[in-house]
Amino acid sequence: MAWTWRYEAADGSVITPAEEPEDFPGQGDAESWIGEEWKQLLEQGIEKVALLDDGREIYTMSLRES
């Protein structure tokens, strides 16, 4: 089982990040990573992320503070 993030622009189009997306062994690992990296992703123009479990979308969220 591989947990990954899909990166999106504000309009929902997929963005390829500057660095190769990372695979995580578990959901908690992926969520901890996004908690540390979200500001850098925003700087790259990434507005939203979707958490994927073996390609199946679990949820999406905005990186902007509400």
Residue-wise pLDDT for 7-31, tens only, equals 999 999 999 877 777 899 999 999 9
12: containing domain: 3-62
- Asked if 15 contacts 47 with a C-beta cutoff of 8 angstroms, the reply is no
Q: Which of 15-19, 44-48, 52-56, 59-63 has the lowest mean pLDDT?
A: 15-19
**For the whole model, what pTM was predicted?**
0.90
Number of folded domains that form the chain: 1
